[in-house]
Structure 1
Amino acid sequence: MKVFSLKSQGVKEVKQYNASRRLARSIKPVGPLRSPYLTQLIDPSDGLSVLEKRVTNWVLQNPNAPKDEAVFVKDGFELTRGEIASLDIGKHISKRVIDVWSIILNHNEKFRSEESPLRVFARSMDCVANGDIVDVSKANVKNMFANALLPAWDDMADDFNWGKAELNWAYVLCVGLKSRRCDILDSSSAKEKNEDRYGDMPKRVVRLLGDFLEQQRFVFKGKCVREMVAKRITFPWRDPKATFDYGVATMRHMETYMGDGGKGWNSGVSRLNLKPMLLLRCKYCACILLSPVNALLDKVYKESEKLERERKEKDPK
């Protein structure tokens, strides 16, 4: 059995946010810049910019650099060079990359348009019954689940999203409060029944989310969530043979899915054209490294520029 969680910690007090605080922004975007869904969505049809090429080369084309070196830090959560290098072509993406992607998407939600649903992205969760976590009691599981939501919790949230990563496999579980639906976004083969493919994971997540909402005094929302039944969403770009791309597809689904059951949903990728998916690997790598929430952003700029300068001196061409 597996449950979405973080490392076991005591549950911190959950702050209640009112609507006015939720919409407050340190920088007030104007016009079309207000919505990341319209202007900040990564476009796989665009090529890499000079800066994007530079920072991705610094990570992906720098074999002599230490793999345990931190290249992203946010609130004590680190991503190493070796972990982000899993975004290289032909590799299965590390679940910690999906964790960091959740952090970045939560940051982008601060600049969403007021008409857009407020999405919350919990960090990918460790398994509580795989030997890594000793205490699998009901109380501790609830604590770990709550801790997975706390970094992004907002009492005005409309959709809750979990990026689930296992060995050579990843998918998204989205719980929508307004739409009252629980959706599974999975690019892998659909031959197996949901019960065989996902076990009781969706049911456990729904139950834990219901408990969490009730703890925050949202009794009606908690009741509605518990009544949800997870359903797998179909989409035309699903390619079950592209096993190495399950992770990047999951990141794309997290970025583009709005919790509406897939109506009008266009992820910008196609099973007939692999180029966008390959490009997204580099785009996401650069996006993570260059994110304004990255405490090591100055280091990324300076060291990538230094490496590029050294290479040009060796080969002026």
Structure 2
Amino acid sequence: MNCITKDICHGGLTWEQQCEIFDAQIAFSFSNNTRGSNLKNIDLVFFPILVVEYFYVVVFNLKKTAINILNNNRDEATSYAADYKDICDLLITLFSRYLEGVGHKKRHVVTTAVPYIPKFKCTTKKNIQDFGIFSIHHMEMYMGEPFSKWDYGLVEKLEKQNLLLLRLRVKFADKILLHEINVLARKVMLDFEEFHKYLTVSRKEII
């Protein structure tokens, strides 16, 4: 799904305006597959959350009726009440309302699920610039398995982690720039092809 931002939560919007924006974002997410908007054959629904200039992810597991919060920045002091409650409670209310509107069988039980914040083996409290990369990576890697068995592909050693992040930045930048929704995707590809006509030394000088 599209990102939930602080403007939706703390932008002085009315409940009707919040619902309108939320519904529009879900509709946009299914613009190429309108039949999927009822979520009846979907097990996992991911919501990237942007707040205080960093991202984390809220996952609704509709198959198991669970709500999980994926955040690499969590530590021992992290708690739902202190760090997530305001935004996540609103998200749960908005999402359960949406499920009610499409007649989903889990529309009522979602509101009773207790959000869970798994503890990652590798936290990144000192890395404040790559929260977006980690969030996209989590949405690609998590398939609903128990967190004790989830291999989320991160490593503790800084050198290996930096190499992984570099690869992920290139991978995600490629997907974003060349996606069909980008009206300049064709130009990006042409510029890329033109760039690779230069000799390796010249390319390094340009970079």
Tell me the TM-score normalised to structure 2 length.
0.81
- Residue type of the alignment partner of 1:189: R
- 2:170 pairs with 259, 279, 282, which one? 282
* 2:96 matches 1:210: yes
Residue correspondence of structure 1 range 1-317 to structure 2 within 5 A: 122-126=1-5, 127-128=7-8, 130-131=10-11, 136-153=13-30, 154=36, 155=38, 156-190=41-75, 191-218=77-104, 220-272=105-157, 273-274=160-161, 275-291=163-179, 294-309=182-197, 311-312=198-199, 315=202
- RMSD value over aligned CA atoms? 2.4
Helix, strand or coil at the partner of 2:116: strand
- Residue type of the alignment partner of 1:128: I
Query: Given that residues 269 and 277 in structure 1 are in contact (C-alpha distance below 8 angstroms), is that contact kept between their aligned partners in structure 2?
Result: no
User: Offset at 1:146?
Assistant: 1.3
Q: Aligned partners of 1:262 and 1:291: how far apart in 2?
A: 31
Tell me the TM-score normalised to structure 1 length.
0.55
Equivalent residue number for residue 21 of structure 1: none
User: Offset at 1:285?
Assistant: 1.0
Query: Given that residues 233 and 261 in structure 1 are in contact (C-alpha distance below 8 angstroms), is that contact kept between their aligned partners in structure 2?
Result: no
Q: Aligned partners of 1:181 and 1:316: how far apart in 2?
A: 49
Cα 1:313–1:139 change in 2 (3 A) is closer
User: Offset at 1:293?
Assistant: 5.5
User: Offset at 1:225?
Assistant: 0.9
User: Offset at 1:313?
Assistant: 9.8
Q: Deviation digits for residues 23-51 of structure 1, max 9, x if unmatched? A: xxxxxxxxxxxxxxxxxxxxxxxxxxxxx
Q: Aligned partners of 2:121 and 2:69: how far apart in 1?
A: 15
Unpaired segments ≥5 residues, structure 1: 1-121
- Residue type of the alignment partner of 1:152: S
User: Offset at 1:209?
Assistant: 0.9
> Which of the two has greater helix per residue?
2
Q: Deviation digits for residues 4-28 of structure 1, max 9, x if unmatched? A: xxxxxxxxxxxxxxxxxxxxxxxxx
Query: Given that residues 187 and 239 in structure 1 are in contact (C-alpha distance below 8 angstroms), is that contact kept between their aligned partners in structure 2?
Result: yes
- Residue type of the alignment partner of 1:252: H
User: Offset at 1:214?
Assistant: 0.8
Equivalent residue number for residue 32 of structure 1: none
Cα 1:227–1:145 change in 2 (3 A) is same
Which region of structure 1 is more displaced relative to structure 2, 291-300 or 122-131?
A: 291-300
User: Offset at 1:189?
Assistant: 3.2
Helix, strand or coil at the partner of 2:55: strand
Query: Given that residues 178 and 186 in structure 2 are in contact (C-alpha distance below 8 angstroms), is that contact kept between their aligned partners in structure 1?
Result: no
Identical aligned residues as a percent: 22
| Residue-pair matches, total | 191
Q: Aligned partners of 1:308 and 1:270: how far apart in 2?
A: 33
- Residue type of the alignment partner of 2:81: E
Q: Aligned partners of 2:203 and 2:28: how far apart in 1?
A: 47
